[in-house]
Amino acid sequence: MKSLLTNLTLATAICTSPVLWAETIKVDMTVKEVDVVVDNAGTTQAMWTYNGTIPGPLVRVKQGDVVDFTLLNHADNEQSHSMDFHAARVDVLDEFESIKPGQTKQFTFKAEYPGVFIYHCGSDSMAEHIARGMYGVIIVDPAEGYSENFPKADREYVLVQGDLFAPGTSADDMKMGNGWKGALVNGRQFHYDPVHDPNASQTLESRPGERVRIHFVNAMINEAAAFHPIAGIWEQVWDNGNPKNVAWGLQTVEVPPAHGLTLDIVSPADRPTNNALVDHRMKHALNGAISVLMNHAAADPKKGRGDQQLLR
């Protein structure tokens, strides 16, 4: 699967990497300063976004592909904005420059390293732009595909953890952590947790015994996440999502700001079970960073596949 949001243009690439065939992936995003729902009760808050959602659109390419990216800063916006792809090797003063409302910025980069990477706005104040919701994920699938140390998963979910600050919090206060209200998972507090929030209408799902792959990105501006599967163990963990960086049988993994991991969990095959995927820093967990994974025979066959890897 390539990007969930882009038009695809096939191209032939000759290179020295294992990639013999590459594609040029056209990705277009528009910055929108809009009111966004930030909890399961429907509370809205003024945020800054890519394409009107937090996180922004999921981009998925293959190692060796060329990303042809265009950013539009909508004319109705008040702020300058930019794009910083952590999967790119370019010039921070050129490709990642800020553009004013009504302007566009186009650049290309080759996805040379496999993994799960954050993208975010780098305009001043960077702390405020990220904290207001300007972040997303680009997954670069390895050129060599699956292997014994990087097996194919039955389902895949993308979880992005960010901050929620009180309305009106200044950029300087955000930078220092003042005015912090809670943690957002894919844009909402307790997004997939009906245990702690009766308004939550979604959970992650799988069938007993399935290998569930979590692509986790920490978009919080100041604090690391201690990611743990309650009632489970991470079967395999790939730092930065790179198949070469594999560890086995971990209980809790530290994910610094602006970093990502890919983690597999396999539930018992002989009975239905549930896991709570939490940031074990209780400040984060009990203010929004808990996601329930239900493992049962009637699991929705669409969840964790196709366009339901990042559940809105």
pLDDT per residue over 127-157, tens digit each? 999 999 999 999 999 999 999 999 999 999 9
Token readout for 254 is: 């530290």
Does residue 9 register a pLDDT over 80? Answer: no
Q: Is 70 exceeded by the pLDDT of residue 16?
A: no
Is the pLDDT score of 37 beyond 80?
yes
pLDDT per residue as tens digits for the range 43-91: 999 999 999 999 999 999 999 999 999 999 999 999 999 999 999 999 9
178-198 residue pLDDT tens: 999 999 999 999 999 999 999
- Res 21: pLDDT: 65
Tell me what pLDDT residue 94 has. Answer: 98
Other C-beta atoms within 10 Å of 230: how many? 14
Q: What is the pTM of this model?
A: 0.93
Predicted confidence at residue 3, as pLDDT, reads 40
Closest to 96 (Cα-Cα) out of 115, 79, 119: 119
Rounded to whole angstroms, the Cα distance separating 8 from 26 reads 6
**How far is CA 137 from each of CA 5, 116, 265, 269, rounded to the nearest angstrom?**
12, 7, 20, 31
- Measure the CA–CA gap between 3 and 23, rounded to whole angstroms: 12
Model confidence at 220, in pLDDT bands (50, 70, 90)?
very high
pLDDT at 254: 98
Distances (CA, A) of 237 to 150, 168, 277: 10, 38, 14
User: What percentage of the chain has pLDDT greater than the value 90?
Assistant: 93
Output the average pLDDT for the chain. Answer: 94
Half-sphere exposure of 272 (CA within 13 A, CB side): 9
Asked if the model's pLDDT at residue 4 lies above 90, the reply is no
* pLDDT tens column, 258-271: 999 999 999 999 99
Per-residue pLDDT band at 22 (split at 50, 70, 90): confident
Q: pLDDT at residue 12 above 70?
A: no
